[in-house]
């Protein structure tokens, strides 16, 4: 049984998924709070023939939680997380967690994302400030002060250990287990006047893109060689009859 063709095809399928992942990362290299999607590959051992054959799996996708670089903006409504925690926002599908802390204030004083979703406090309530109360100060633990008084606190949440994250929108994630409120601000804290960028390294991903394209082309060459060999064998056998 010829195994070269199915093995090469499995490699092409794996590289196709890898190409899609790399293209998505490069397209969002400048998106604040974006979490890159990585692909983990493993081999699948097949015993369909007399000898075991190792196939490449299509790949298991997961979201990287690696932090992006912080850029200082000086805007008091720009917040970033130093640590592994996430902000919470309210969406039609329920709470979504994000590292994009760019806040916009509505006419009523509600703090919203650039897409209009409300930011939430630790109890899941929308954050509200006085639209005529002047600038706000946000402490490392999320406490919001305006006009000399405390008016609320930005919620910070940690993803449960071992939780699988699915993407929600461009910069949002949703865990498959309940997120936990942060109560210790030694490891996780808020930095006011900063924005976190994407955790994509464009130069590294471009290098990987070139490598994957080459592997895809090599697999295509193997398939072509296998087909030529098979056609030659069929032709030779037919001529010998």
pLDDT tens digits, one per residue of 22-73: 888 899 998 999 988 876 655 444 444 455 545 455 556 778 888 999 999 9
> What is the model's pTM?
0.76
pLDDT tens digits, one per residue of 152-177: 999 999 999 888 899 998 899 999 99
Identify the pLDDT of residue 6.
62
| Phi then psi dihedrals of residue 220, to 5 deg | -65, -40
Q: Please check whether residue 78 is in contact with residue 191, taking contact to mean a CB–CB distance below 8 angstroms.
A: no
Burial group, residue 5, by CB count within 10 angstroms (0-12, 13-18, 19+): middle
pLDDT tens digits, one per residue of 60-113: 677 888 899 999 999 999 999 999 999 999 999 899 999 999 999 999 999 999
Query: Which has more pLDDT, 222 or 175?
Result: 175
Instruction: Measure the CA–CA gap between 117 and 46, rounded to whole angstroms.
Output: 48
Identify the pLDDT of residue 162.
85
Q: Is the dihedral of CA 134, 127, 85, 77 positive or negative?
A: negative
Local confidence band at 19 (pLDDT 50, 70, 90 cut-offs): confident
Query: Where do we find the tokens 């916009």?
Result: 104
pLDDT tens digits, one per residue of 181-219: 998 899 999 999 999 999 998 888 888 888 877 877 776
Domain ranges in the chain? 4-65+200-239, 70-196
Instruction: Measure the CA–CA gap between 169 and 146, rounded to whole angstroms.
Output: 31
């Amino acid at each position: 049984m010829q195994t070269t063709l199915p093995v090469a095809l499995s490699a092409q399928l794996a590289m196709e998924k890898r190409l899609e992942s790399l293209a998505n990362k490069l397209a969002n290299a400048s998106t604040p709070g974006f979490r890159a999607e990585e692909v983990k590959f493993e081999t699948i051992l097949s015993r369909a023939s007399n000898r075991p054959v190792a196939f490449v799996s299509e790949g298991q996708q997961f979201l990287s939680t690696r932090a992006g670089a912080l850029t200082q903006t000086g805007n008091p409504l720009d917040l970033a997380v130093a640590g592994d925690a996430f902000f919470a926002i309210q969406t039609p599908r329920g709470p979504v967690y994000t590292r994009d802390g760019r806040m916009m204030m509505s006419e009523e004083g509600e703090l919203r994302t650039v897409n209009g979703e409300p930011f939430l406090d630790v109890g899941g309530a929308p954050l509200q400030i006085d639209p005529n109360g002047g600038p706000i100060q946000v402490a490392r633990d999320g406490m919001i002060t305006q006009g000399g008084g405390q008016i609320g606190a930005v919620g910070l949440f940690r993803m449960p250990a071992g939780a699988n994250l699915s993407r929600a929108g461009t910069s949002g994630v949703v865990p498959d287990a309940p997120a936990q409120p942060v109560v210790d601000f030694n490891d996780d804290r808020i930095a006011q006047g900063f924005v976190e960028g994407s955790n994509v390294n464009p130069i590294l991903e471009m290098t990987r893109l070139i490598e994957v394209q080459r592997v895809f082309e090599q697999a295509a060459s193997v398939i072509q060689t296998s087909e030529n060999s098979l056609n030659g064998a069929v032709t030779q056998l037919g001529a010998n009859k």
